[in-house]
Amino acid sequence: MSTVDVVIPTLGRPSLAALLGALAAAEGQLPGRIIVVDDRPAAAAGPLLAAADPPARLAPRVIVLRGRGVGPAAARNVGWHASCAEFVAFVDDDVVPDDDWLVRLADDLSTLAPDVGGSQGRVRVPIPADRPPTDWERDVAGLATARWATADMAYRREALDSVGGFDERFPRAYREDADLALRVRAAGWRLASGRRTVAHPARSADRWVSVRRQAGNADDALMRAVHGRRWRLRAGVPRGRRRRHVVVTAAAALTLGSLLARRRWLAAAGAAVWLAGTAELAWARIAPGPRTRDEVTTMLLTSAVLPMAATVHSMAGWIGLPRRRRRPRGRPRAVLLDRDGTLVVDVPENGDPARVTPVPGAREALERLRAAGVALAVVTNQSGVARGMLTHAQMGAVNRRVEELLGPLGPWFVCPHGPKDGCRCRKPAPGMVLDAARVLGVRPEECAVIGDTGADVAAARAAGARAVLIPNAVTRRAEIARAPEVAADLGGAVARLLGEAP
């Protein structure tokens, strides 16, 4: 097991190439693996980014996993679930590590006390020296003082396991890192500050970026629901201008309503409040900036609509809170089954169909799934093929014998690669789970995976699927402790999934 893996969620931005190049050029020992999670929408075609092909020094350690395209929280979960390292270092794809980042990362992690669950790196935002920063540059510069920002944040894997990783109900890069840190601390871990540093350039943005970023206000409702009224204080998040935005928005609504009702004096009063609030906001943003014509124009235009955008998104967050607070866990539409140790007795590197023996009760459990209309598939690692211990033909003969004994099992997804091949399919990577969901025509979160090892559980969680572990003699105690659901046997696992058992 390596000491640390690095996880990089990405939408394929050109900055990914600069990040990988900086890691390749950095002094010190490389991480065990660099896990790049391609979180582009499913419709995105072609390679992740031709310009970001890993440098030769990194290539043997880089693996690319496919995310689900539902936000950075889910993408980071895909990455760390595929890691077996003691620590997982998360970095954004638009940062550039310093030359000594690897050395300082190793120092930061090696000196942590056992009760420290994470180490935060330093973020440096370069600001032009020949002029005051723009509003956008000041916004990005806030990362330099933000607490627990995943631009550079390393967590002990045990700490991530203890809280289930990132909460995927946070769909954007806004509060998901603060939420994780608060939950890790609530679980009894301490968080420390390290000495490593990354640069986070304030790259160019269009005129309306500040308005679009107000969508993050919707996540504050969930933060309060999860962490209570004082969450801002504990997370080090300033209160901001929410109350002023509500007043300005109310004044704008009053103005419009009064005009429709032909109440001119009331419309004039509302308009005066709206204009005063807008002017105050605009000047607060213009005064510390460069005051160029383009910057002033941008501040005037965006300040006129920014309070309304913030208020509407905040209201939407509260209105949608009941739905976001639920963690639905109904009957799955598809069940994906491991083969050895789950469906049949585990015979290492078995290439002989005569040695196939179903686990007790397997046929009956599968018949219950079929009767319930649940789709089936098999997802199995068979590294014996890569190691030359059995052939594809032998493996196929064994698989056919399994179906002869247990009935039709749906499509088979087999990974013939070895642990060091860096493929996307070998569990704990989520490749086979994602492929099975796509072929079966269901979403990954509508699937459940049943297996006997931590790799089965990790692959399911990385894909967003439900996981049920069936421990046996080779299942490690730590894997059992980390599993979200455990059943005594295949029949018990099926009963859980069909809602027949607590």
Q: Convert the pLDDT of each residue in 133-175 to its tens digit.
A: 999 999 999 999 999 999 999 999 888 887 878 988 898 888 9
- Please indicate whether residue 206 is annotated as part of the active site: no
363 has pLDDT over 50: yes
Name the β-bridge partners of 469.
451, 486
Q: β-pairing, 412-415 with 447-451?
A: unpaired
Please give the Cα distance from 473 to 470 (Å, whole number): 10
Sequence-distant (6+) residues with CB within 8 A of 110 are none
327 has pLDDT over 70: no
DSSP for 33-97, written as a single string? -EEEEE-S-TT--S-S-GGGPPPTTTGGGEEEEE--SS-HHHHHHHHHHT--SSEEEEE-TT-EE
502 — pLDDT class (breaks 50, 70, 90): very low
Please give the helix or strand (H or E) that residue 9 lies within, else none: strand 4-10
Q: Convert the pLDDT of each residue in 215-255 to its tens digit.
A: 999 999 899 888 888 999 998 888 888 899 999 999 999 99
Catalytic residue among 39, 167, 219, 338: 338
Share of the chain above pLDDT 90, in %: 60
Please give the Cα distance from 320 to 329 (Å, whole number): 19
- Please indicate whether residue 340 is annotated as part of the active site: yes
Domain ranges of the chain: 4-204, 206-326, 334-497
Task: Work out whether the CA dihedral 281, 319, 175, 71 comes out positive or negative.
Answer: negative
355-382 exposure pattern, b = at least 16 Cβ within 10 A, e = fewer? ebeebeebeebbeebeeeebbbbbbbbb
Residue type for position 79: G
Please give the Cα distance from 378 to 344 (Å, whole number): 12
C-beta separation of 380 from 459 below 8 A: no
State residue 400's pLDDT score: 94
| DSSP code, position 258 | H
93 — pLDDT class (breaks 50, 70, 90): very high
CATH of domain 334-497: 3.40.50.1000
Q: Convert the pLDDT of each residue in 42-90 to its tens digit.
A: 656 566 655 456 788 888 888 888 787 788 998 998 888 888 789 999 9
State residue 49's pLDDT score: 55
DSSP for 271-338, written as a single string? HHHHHHHHHHHHHHHHTTS---HHHHHHHHHHHHHHHHHHHHHHHHHHHTHHHHH-------SEEEE-
State residue 449's pLDDT score: 96
C-beta separation of 176 from 73 below 8 A: yes
Please give the Cα distance from 468 to 486 (Å, whole number): 5
Tell me which residue has tokens 């599968």: 366
Q: Convert the pLDDT of each residue in 278-319 to its tens digit.
A: 999 999 999 999 999 999 999 999 999 999 999 999 999 888
Q: Exposed, middle or buried, 66 (CB in 10 Å: 0-12/13-18/19+)? A: buried
Q: What is the mean pLDDT of residues 470-499?
A: 88
1 — pLDDT class (breaks 50, 70, 90): very low
Share of the chain above pLDDT 70, in %: 95
Tell me which residue has tokens 């998901």: 176
Which CATH fold would you assign to the domain 4-204?
Answer: Spore Coat Polysaccharide Biosynthesis Protein SpsA; Chain A (3.90.550)
Name the β-bridge partners of 116.
190
194: three-class secondary structure by DSSP:
strand
Please give the Cα distance from 78 to 64 (Å, whole number): 11
Please give the helix or strand (H or E) that residue 346 lies within, else none: none
467 has pLDDT over 70: yes
C-beta separation of 465 from 433 below 8 A: yes
State residue 51's pLDDT score: 46
C-beta separation of 1 from 30 below 8 A: no
Q: Convert the pLDDT of each residue in 106-123 to its tens digit.
A: 999 999 999 999 999 999
13 — pLDDT class (breaks 50, 70, 90): confident
State residue 328's pLDDT score: 47
Its pTM stands at 0.71
H helix runs in 320-471, sequence order: 321-325, 362-371, 392-406, 431-440, 454-463
Q: What average pLDDT is seen over the chain?
A: 89
Please give the Cα distance from 16 to 166 (Å, whole number): 22
330 has pLDDT over 80: no
Catalytic residue among 108, 340, 452, 456: 340
405 has pLDDT over 90: yes
